[in-house]
Amino acid sequence: MASTKQNGTANLAANGQNGYKVIGTRPVRPDGVDKVTGRAVYAADVQMTGLLHGHVLRSPHAHARIRSIDTSKAEALPGVRAVVTAADLPVAEDKIEDLGEGAINLKYLSDNILAHEKALYHGHAVAGVAAVNPHIAEEAAALIEVDYEPLPPVMTVDDALADDAPILLETLRTDSMGEIGSEQTNLASFFRHQRGDLEAGFADAELVVDRTFRTETVHQGYIEPHAATALYSADGQITIWTSTQGSFAVRGQVCEILQIPVSRLKVVPTEIGGGFGGKINVYVEPVAVLLSQKAGHEPVKIVMSRADVLAATGPTSGSNIRVKIGVDSDGKISAALAELYYEAGAYPGSPVGAAANVSLAPYAIDNLQVDGYDIIVNRPRSAAYRAPGGTNVAFAVESVVDELAEELGMDPAEFRILNGAKENDRRPDGVQYARIGQIETVEAIKESDHYQSSLEGNYRGRGIASGYWNNWGGQSSATAVLNPDGTVNLNEASTDIGGTRASIAMQLAEAMEIDYEQVKARVVDTDTVSYNDVTGGSRTTFATGLAAYNLGQQLKKEMKRRLAEHWDVEPSEVSYEDGAFNAGDESLPFVEAAGLVQREEPLMASSTVHPQDFGPGFSTQCVDVEVDPETGKITILRYTIAQDVGKAIHPSYVEGQMQGGVAQGIGWAINEEYIYDDEGHLLNASLLDYRMPTALDLPMIETIMVEVPHPAHPYGVRGVGEVNIVPPAGAVANAVYQATGVRMDKLPISPANLLEAMWAKQAEEAAELVPGDD
């Protein structure tokens, strides 16, 4: 194991380590100059001749039957070119497909694009308009008359599971471990993971802590609103320019929704202004296609407003969670139970399955049970958000673990080391671990300057927490063209959200033993390379990087073969060292070889990969907070994250993932939540009222990159994008307990929620001081 700490100033030009030339260095990303000068083209920046502008009309009700829609006044407004409603969508089949990151029923997918019979959340799309400018499109949308029959909204787990709960989806039946129920319900599915003997485990326990928690809906919060431009050409060919984590996921979804073959749709990914899981589902893309078709084959651009983004895209689930853990007299966990109730939004598909895997993953436990419930409510259809479902459940589990350690009088890091999962232990659903680095991350925190330092002062506290994310492999395709000047064009289809052009190009450069600057990485459209899964699941540097590694090996091998022919020797006699090919007395620098080997025939390579063996990630984090007892405001004084990164290809971007995930986790912990009124109207659909952390809310975030190489990747890469967001809420809650004596059982730990809890505790303590008469 190696670990690298970030010091006060970033090490900008560190040499590669462990014999690597390129890996471990920090070069400038190829798309960097365009992004610091404003030239980079994001989704809303697309311009073209004859461009029309679209606007989407949205439901003002959380739950309503749509009796009728009259678009005549909108169509009559000068400047309007087309109006569409759900009636323009093909009838969708009730069938399940995996078109991005997880399976989805196509009927629900289509319903979410434009509401068919019912509006299921405040902000649900109802109609689309295309006009010569965005202002006219917006005016026209306001002229559309929709006759709604408002229905009572169902906003939470408790509302949805009540005996007399209004039903959202009339055909929904509970899928209980494959058995389909017979009653109408808002419970989409139930599952259970269990092993060992839970009852015996709890009977053996010396100490049991049993707590329930509530977390609120939060949004991914990417700064770029969703936007797409579609051109339905007169010859039937369709092109979509959009900001997406997966151009092929967009192609798949749009083709299913519109019932067209994939050969008729090309998706061109623009630069993407953040996704975090929220830019996998399509929203405006199919509407733009329909409008373009209806508007006489002119291109139509739809740009969402921030209010629409918050009301109708994302978010991730609110949840009710129960965690019960027992420990024996040695402090070893003897049994654990977790019950997870996740709000999926208007259609089934919360991340409760992933949450179950995360729940107790950092610990070695023989007797456990994890129950998962996927529940629909009148909120937007939930989307993936960075380690989907993980933050909620880790907040609950890590709070209980902290309480157990405290009751036992054990250091919380020691408790996690004693109970830590390692190679051959099993995840809650039974998956067995290969080499993992959980305990190493706890040790890194325990030995850190931060954890070793003292923290003094009133209302200050320190907390730690751990987290797990499984990561993903997925499918990737890439091609590489060797140019006669010794450079390589690398064509890949993984959207670059945080420097992956660089981290993928670096792996090709390392494999070919050439300089990073010789590789030109480009993200291409769906017509140019073969299928490629989304940039998600922390898979891109791992899997597309693996494809790039293969390309490098192929090109190098073919260059050797052709040089062997040229020199009339066996290919095995050709070696490559210090930038030159050699065989006997012959020697040729790479650049000259690149020209020579292509005199008779050009050289390119292609690689497709679908790695199944992807290494999971663990992270342990430490935070110091100060609580203002007057206002309940939490100040983050210091934050350190240790994460098993496998091998950091571009350390700056790995640190960036770690810091960014922590920042989002802190926002989730202390500020962010969807606030609804009693009728299910979203009240805080702006970035002022949906309060994400600013630069002033955060300190520098110290990073410790723990490197436990993943055995199934040539450079040891593990996904690094997601696990960092799993521990922060638990760590902050544990620090808040140390600062105030209050254990928070809900997120966010906002000033109001924290003050209420502190006052309740004070009242309780005051009551204990007064001699009671009962």
CB of 591 to other proteins, least distance (A): 26
CA distances from residue 97 to 109, 120, 538 in whole angstroms, order as listed: 10, 22, 22
Q: Contact with other proteins (CB under 8 A): which of 16, 484, 656, 714?
A: 656
Q: Are 166 and 154 in contact (CB under 8 A)?
A: yes
**Is residue 467 close enough to count as binding other proteins by CB under 8 A?**
no
Stretch that binds other proteins, among 119-127, 172-180, 418-426, 651-659 (CB under 8 A): 651-659
Strands 125-131 and 460-469: unpaired
**Dist CA 42 CA 26 (whole Å):** 25
Please say which residue, 33 or 96, places its beta carbon nearer to other proteins: 33
Sheet (strand 580-583) strand order: 575-577, 580-583, 586-589
Site for other proteins contains 441 (CB under 8 A)? no
Say if CB 464 and CB 445 are below 8 A apart: yes
In this structure, which amino acid lies at residue 643?
Q
CB atoms near residue 374 (< 10 Å): 25
143-151, 269-277, 405-413, 561-569 -> range binding other proteins (CB under 8 A): 269-277
Q: How far is the C-alpha of 703 from the C-alpha of 10, rounded, in Å?
A: 11
Candidate segments 181-189, 457-465, 604-612, 653-661, binder of other proteins by CB under 8 A: 653-661
Nearer to other proteins among residue 234 and residue 696 (C-beta): 696
Euclidean distance between CA atoms 248 and 477, whole angstroms: 11
**# binding residues, other proteins (CB under 8 A):** 63
From 176, 305, 608, 684, residue interacting with other proteins (rule: CB under 8 A): 305
* Contact pick of 12, 103, 200, 752 for other proteins (by CB under 8 A): 12
Q: Does 15 bind other proteins (CB under 8 A)?
A: no
Residue 270's closest CA among 529, 570, 77, 46? 46
3-state secondary structure of 196: coil
Q: Which of 101, 111, 298, 655 binds other proteins (CB under 8 A)?
A: 655
- Residue 640: which H helix or E strand, with range? strand 634-644
Among 26, 116, 226, 381, binds other proteins (CB under 8 A): 26
221 binds other proteins (CB under 8 A): yes
Q: How far is the CB of 323 from other proteins (least distance, A)?
A: 28
Q: Which of 7, 15, 19, 37 is the binder for other proteins (CB under 8 A)?
A: 37
Q: How is the chain split among helix, strand and coil, in percent rounded to 5?
A: 30, 25, 45
Is 33 among the residues that bind other proteins (CB under 8 A)? Answer: yes
Which range touches other proteins (CB under 8 A), out of 58-66, 223-231, 402-410, 468-476? 223-231
Residue 689 CB: number of other CB atoms within 10 A?
11
- Residue 499 found at the interface with other proteins (CB under 8 A): yes
The Cα 478–Cα 494 span in angstroms is 9
Considering only 65, 95, 135, 422, the residue that binds other proteins (CB under 8 A) is 135
Region near other proteins per CB under 8 A, out of 437-445, 593-601, 603-611, 654-662: 654-662
**What's the rounded Cα separation, in Å, for the pair 279 and 272?**
9
**Is residue 653 within the footprint of other proteins (CB under 8 A)?**
yes
Number of residues written out for the chain: 774
* Nearer to other proteins among residue 141 and residue 151 (C-beta): 141
Which of the ranges 337-345, 652-660, 674-682, 763-771 carries the binding residues for other proteins, by CB under 8 A?
A: 652-660
Say if residue 152 is preceded by a cis peptide, omega within 30 of 0: no
- CA torsion through residues 42, 43, 48, 50, sign: negative
Closest to other proteins by CB, 299 or 412: 299
∠ CA 648-651-656, rounded to 5°: 115
* 688 forms part of the interface with other proteins (CB under 8 A): yes
**Using N-to-C axis directions, what is the helix angle for 728-740 and 390-408, rounded to 10°?**
40
* Stretch touching other proteins by CB under 8 A, among 94-102, 253-261, 482-490, 691-699: 691-699
Among residues 357 and 494, whose Cβ is nearest to other proteins? 494
Decide: is 40 part of the binding site for other proteins (CB under 8 A).
yes
Rule CB under 8 A: say whether 20 interacts with other proteins: no
Which of 298, 320, 312, 432 shows the shortest CA–CA distance to 372?
320
Report residue 267: phi and psi, to 5°.
-110, 125
CB of 713 to other proteins, least distance (A): 22
- 428, amino acid identity: P
By CB under 8 A, residue 522 contacts other proteins = no
| Token pair belonging to 100 | 């991005």
Q: How many CA atoms lie within 13 A of 611 on its CB side?
A: 28
Pairing type for strands 118-119 and 2-5 reads unpaired
Per CB under 8 A, contacts with other proteins among 710-769 are none
Residue 654 CB, shortest distance to other proteins, in Å, is 10
Binding status of residue 303 toward other proteins by CB under 8 A: yes
Question: Is residue 637 a contact residue for other proteins (CB under 8 A)?
Answer: no
DSSP category for residue 92:
P
Please state the closest distance from residue 331 (CB atom) to other proteins, in A: 34
Distance of alpha carbon 631 from the chain centroid: 33
Per DSSP, 45 falls in state G
Q: Which is nearer to other proteins, 273 or 326 (CB)?
A: 273
Nearer to other proteins, 124 or 386 (CB): 386
Q: Which residues of the chain form contacts with other proteins (CB under 8 A)?
A: 9-10, 12, 26, 28-29, 31-33, 35-42, 44-45, 47, 135, 220-225, 271-276, 303, 305-306, 497-499, 650, 652-653, 655-657, 659-664, 686-688, 692-698, 700-701
